[in-house]
Amino acid sequence: MTVSPRKRDVLSISDIAGDLPELLRRASRLKAERKRGALRPILRGRHLAMIFEKPSTRTRTSFEVAMNDLGGHALYLSSKDLQLGRGETIADTARVLSRFVDAICYRAYRHADMVELARWATVPVVNALDDLEHPCQIVADLQTMHERWRGRFRGHRLAWVGDGNNVLHSLLLGAAAVGLDLTAAVPSGYDPRPDLMDAARKLAHGTRARIELTHDPQAAVRGADAIYTDVWVSMGDEAEKAARETAFAGFQVNAALLDLAAPTAFVLHDLPAHRGQEITDDVLDGPRSAAWDQAENRLHAQKAILELLLRPRASPRRRR
């Protein structure tokens, strides 16, 4: 296998840890340019293949609109409709798509499949969510906090209330990389993976971010500057639904929990929400909800990531 020297993958947010300050700056600038109608077609002639094994509203749409806004083109490819669904290998799919497109984003069940696709693709591969991480989500989340805190992460503390899942894994690494203090409250038995915790703590050495884990949601939220939650039952965890609903019962983000946070604290949710489970209607729809800005920022963050990977134009697509 020949690997292009210019190929760069984003399988984990740690792959772009050093780029985060610049990505956030570019995402804000691209947001302002879009609002002024001043975006330039910097990805003209570039093509993004988007392979989805699971449903998506935000990730799919934001990638597609991001490519169109920047003069490029995106193709939605459901894994069920590809020959992948009939047993063509990930490796062969990666090699063929790399002859057609300039980058591939992939929403997968298994992180091992993400790694396999990246191994064989000769164009950049971007993780659009798998069972281990959701890196693009966290770029938009950091952008949302960055905007509300006027560009300062230091001195603010984010509390996570919920599952030790893919979103938390990327958030731990992302917070550590930018120097944001993060206290994660998860039910016993639903801790984030220890290797991801270790990686986050290692990254935090350089930025002096405090990364903490607890099983007490009230303790995590007390005095926090923002609260972030996600579904109790992620895609792929449906068989555990009943057990999870019992385990997560004390982990709802509601008005009483929000009362413990700083008076200026706001609430983040990556969406889709299961209203009445991890978050109540009054909080998600209330004045302290940042979830809608956060969803919009997926578009601007996606553009910054695509720009990083696809511009300036690399050598002509590899022929093997």
Which residues lie near ligand NVA (CB under 6 A)? 129, 165-167, 230-231, 234-235, 270
- Tell me the HSE value of 314 on the side-chain side, using a 13 A CA sphere: 18
| Residue 57 near which of ligand CP, ligand NVA, none (CB within 5-8 Å, type-dependent) | ligand CP
Task: Decide if 72 contacts 65 (C-beta within 8 A).
Answer: no
| Residue 231 near which of ligand NVA, ligand CP, none (CB within 5-8 Å, type-dependent) | ligand NVA
Q: Which residue is nearest to ligand CP (CB)?
A: 59
Out of 11, 129, 224, 253, the only residue in the binding site for ligand CP (CB under 6 A) is 129
| Residue 140 near which of ligand CP, ligand NVA, none (CB within 5-8 Å, type-dependent) | none
Map the footprint of ligand CP across residues 180-239, applying CB under 6 A.
Answer: none
Residue whose C-alpha is closest to residue 209's, from 158, 247, 260, 252: 158
Query: Does the footprint of ligand CP cover residue 291 (CB under 6 A)?
Result: no
First-to-last C-alpha distance (Å) of the chain: 9
Chain centroid to CA 273: 15
Query: Does the footprint of ligand CP cover residue 56 (CB under 6 A)?
Result: yes
Kindly give, in sequence order, each residue whose CB lies less than 8 Å from that of residue 2, ignoring residues fewer than 6 positions away: 122, 318, 320
220-28-101 Cα angle (round to 5): 105
Return the number of the residue (102 or 230) whose C-beta is nearest ligand NVA: 230
| Residue 122 near which of ligand CP, ligand NVA, none (CB within 5-8 Å, type-dependent) | none
Site string for ligand CP, 259-288 (x = CB under 6 A): -----------xxx----------------
Beta strands in the chain (DSSP E): 47-52, 73-78, 103-107, 125-127, 157-161, 181-185, 211-214, 226-229, 266-269
Q: How far is the CB of 219 from ligand CP (least distance, A)?
A: 27
Residue 295 tokens read as: 């969803």
Out of 12, 14, 28, 59, the only residue in the binding site for ligand CP (CB under 6 A) is 59
Q: How far is the CB of 271 from ligand NVA (least distance, A)?
A: 7
Residue whose C-alpha is closest to residue 252's, from 225, 282, 224: 282
Residues that bind ligand CP (CB under 6 A): 56-59, 129, 137, 270-272
